[in-house]
Amino acid sequence: MKLLRILPLVLIFMGALLLFERPAFAYADPGTGLLALQAAGSALIAAGWYLRRKIYTLFHRAKPAADNQEEAARVVNGEDSHSS
């Protein structure tokens, strides 16, 4: 519970540091932007890989139970379920 008291103060302090920052006269070469783009793309791919099962179930919903029972009955009777 002590963390919940300290966390807002830390966030306010970090915000103040960013608000009153001094300019840094540094050089960022053209490859820096590409490196940031690569990091963002890698993070997106990693998140997709980590959540792949949830994404799959989102797009491939299960059929209702009645349809599954009819399909199983057709297979048992030797009927082709894909024929019209």
**Structural domain range at position 69:** 40-75
**75/16 Cα distance (integer angstroms):** 68
pLDDT tens by residue, the chain, 84 residues: 677 788 889 999 998 888 887 887 888 887 888 998 999 999 999 998 998 888 888 888 766 555 666 766 676 676 655 554
Q: Which residues contact 68 (CB under 8 A, 6 or more apart)?
A: 62
pTM to 2 decimal places: 0.40
Whether 66 is covered by a domain: the verdict is yes
Question: What integer pLDDT is reported at residue 83 of this predicted model?
Answer: 52
Whether 57 is covered by a domain: the verdict is yes
Total structural domains in the chain?
1
**31/37 Cα distance (integer angstroms):** 10
Question: What integer pLDDT is reported at residue 65 of this predicted model?
Answer: 57
Whether 1 is covered by a domain: the verdict is no
Whether 48 is covered by a domain: the verdict is yes
Angle at 49 between CA 46 and CA 44, to 5 degrees: 35
